[in-house]
Amino acid sequence: KCRTGPLDIVFVIDSSRSVRPFEFETMRRFMMDIISSLDVGPNATRVGVIQYSSQVQNIFSLKTFFTRVDMEKAINSIMPLAQGTMTGLAIQYAMNVAFTTQEGARPLHKKIPRIAIIVTDGRPQDRVTEVATQARNAGIEIYAVGIQRADMNSLRAMASPPLEEHVFLVESFELIQQFGKQFQDKLCGVDMCMEQEHGCQHSCISTPSSFYCECNPGHRLNVDGKTCSSIDACADGRHGCQHQCISAHGSYSCRCRTGYYLNQDKRTCSMINYCSFGNHSCQHECVSIPNGHYCRCHSGFMLQLDGQSCRATDLCNGVDHGCEFKCVSTEGSYHCMCPEGQQLQADGKACSKCGAGHVDLVMVIDGSKSVRPQNFELVKQFVNRIVDLLEVSPHGTRVGLVQYSSRVRTEFPLNKYHSADEIKKAVMEVEYMEKGTMTGLALKHMVEHSFSELEGARPLSHNIPRIGLVFTDGRSQDDISEWARRAKESGIIMFAVGVGKAVEEELRVIASEPVEQHFSYSADFTTMAHLVENFKLNICPEEGKGETEIRSPCECEALVQFQTNTVAILQSLTEKNILWARSLAQMTARLEDLEKQIANKK
């Protein structure tokens, strides 16, 4: 078989009256012998046949048959035309029709040789020189085979150079079959890919006189014609994958992020409902999140340390009371309170906003592995409760958010969002990072990037307070002192909020002076409501004043207010753990001390 790669071959057969019937049979045999040596198929060699006399007749085109059996059947059914010898007309037809892509010829850029084999027994009755030149210039390689009475000059005028390889004269029709075997070798030639160093990166395709390179599926040929580059099917952006596009072998597939599964459309993703597995062991409700699930208790109940069981508690801790500042439990009910200087709104829950002073606030939240997914959701709720305190606008308060673990990631800078609703939506879409606790690295990022004018901080000359709030649940794995000091030296007011295993010593290093007003602690994530209240008291000045008013704790009004607040807090501390018991003892001692001071003044 011919192993020199695919070809597009068209036989142009003379069936004029000078060709006698038995002679035409030898021409049939000649064509079938040549075809038998070829590897025919849609991606291999394609074959077409036309016959001519005074007119041209298409027997079958390059796209008609792809098996030797079908081709031989069609060749055996040819009826000779038995008229004149218009060879030039036949060449014209081959060029304009037979070798077009519409008739099955492969495009020229694929470099598949186009070969016309003209078999004739006489002198043409029309001009062939000019039309043969046009055909050769169009990329058609012409072999001219003359039999018996053929005119040698006409054969030479039609054939491609070099003439000694493309012009053949057979003495009689009886010898054409023997000639066919020699012509097979001439047509197939040698395997040029084996004869020389081709340099093709993937595949070398041999042609009768040369070769060309091809690339494997999923790759394209580079401009050097030899090396190949992979095709990135995702690069054009038209894949439609909701989460991730994975390119492979010239195609692509869609993949979902952890916690999601691919829908039947193979493009969109849906969150996995981990609660549906039936193994969550939640006493009340199971809530599914992208990386797992957490348990939630019914109204009036508190989640226990095992993260699964629930226990009844006071209404402020057991229901979504909606109080912006403080919830005060009473028997069978509760009511909301606002800090001094602010009024409870008509809805009985909201307080007047912190609008007297505008700030640039960057919150730096701990996303380490120790936080756990369900608690991270509570942290995001904590952040949004702080946002609810503020009058967010481009010219008012600006808010930025940074998350850290073993690395630091800006979730959104100060100039990203211009309303509280936009910020709260973005906060709830933040994905939990996990891994380590590099608090020092987070402080460095906040100082160098988060409070830069490039990320939305107003110039220092505008006297807009810069406030940094660091939220963590454990000991830092790197040094914090250097960048905590730099933050405060650069004019950033630092607040430190700790939960659970947070180290008080580190919180105090982070916090600005006076430290007692700038750091807060909560025993666990489910009791963080008072942290929001503490933060609001320290950043919200009274309306119409440029700074927070510090009142003497010995004034009568302050003492009464302190007593009222202390009683409310004491009620909410019932049945808390040992840390809450310690807080109770401290606050009771402070109350006694203040009472003594009042008594002494009297």
Taking phi over 0 as left and psi of -120 to 50 as alpha, with beta for the rest, 72 belongs to: alpha
Lowest-pLDDT range of 195-204, 256-265, 579-588: 579-588
Q: What's the pLDDT score for residue 545?
A: 38
pLDDT in tens, 4-19: 568 899 999 999 998 8
User: For strand 519-522 and strand 492-499, is the pairing parallel, antiparallel, or unpaired?
Assistant: parallel
Which residue would you say has higher pLDDT here, 324 or 444? Answer: 444
Taking phi over 0 as left and psi of -120 to 50 as alpha, with beta for the rest, 575 belongs to: left
Percent of the chain past pLDDT 90, that is, above it, reads: 38
pLDDT in tens, 461-486: 888 899 999 999 888 899 999 999 99
Percent of the chain past pLDDT 70, that is, above it, reads: 81
Q: Would you call 349 exposed, middle or buried from its count of C-beta atoms within 10 A (0-12, 13-18, 19+)? A: middle
C-beta separation of 150 from 168 below 8 A: no
**What distance in Å separates the CA atoms of residue 322 and residue 486, rounded to the nearest whole number?**
38
Residue 5: CB atoms within 10 A of its CB come to: 24
Q: Does residue 411 carry a pLDDT above 80?
A: yes
Q: What's the pLDDT score for residue 81?
A: 94
Residue 39: CB atoms within 10 A of its CB come to: 15
3-state SS track over 449-512 = HHCCHHHCCCCHHHCCCEEEEEEECCCCCCCCHHHHHHHHHCCEEEEEEEECCCCHHHHHHHCC
3-state SS track over 299-350 = CCEEECCCCCCEEECCHHHHCCCCCCCEEEEECCEEEEECCCCCCECCCCCC
What the block records as the tokens of 210 is: 């040369």
pLDDT in tens, 47-82: 999 999 999 999 999 999 999 999 999 999 999 999
Q: Would you call 332 exposed, middle or buried from its count of C-beta atoms within 10 A (0-12, 13-18, 19+)? A: exposed
pLDDT in tens, 105-125: 999 988 888 999 999 988 899
Q: Does residue 565 carry a pLDDT above 60?
A: no
Q: Does residue 213 sit in helix, strand or coil?
A: strand
Reference 500, options 474, 530, 534, 539; nearest CA is 474
Q: What is the mean pLDDT of residues 580-590?
A: 64
Q: What is the mean pLDDT of the chain?
A: 83
Q: Does residue 446 carry a pLDDT above 80?
A: yes
Q: What is the mean pLDDT of residues 259-280?
A: 87
**Residues 6+ positions from 137 with CB-CB distance below 8 Å:** none
Q: What structural domains does the chain harbor?
A: 7-188 (3.40.50.410), 360-539 (3.40.50.410)
Which residue would you say has higher pLDDT here, 180 or 558? Answer: 180
Could you tell me the CA-to-CA distances from 308 to 113, 228, 273, 279, 575 in Å, in that order? 75, 57, 17, 11, 19
> Which 8-state DSSP code applies to residue 541?
P
Q: What's the pLDDT score for residue 230?
A: 83
Q: What is the mean pLDDT of residues 573-585?
A: 54
Q: What's the pLDDT score for residue 209?
A: 64
C-beta separation of 185 from 208 below 8 A: no
| Cα distance between the two ends of the chain | 121
Q: Predicted confidence band at 130 (pLDDT cuts at 50, 70, 90)?
A: very high
Residues shown for the chain: 602
Q: Does residue 258 carry a pLDDT above 50?
A: yes
Q: Residue type for 174, please?
A: E
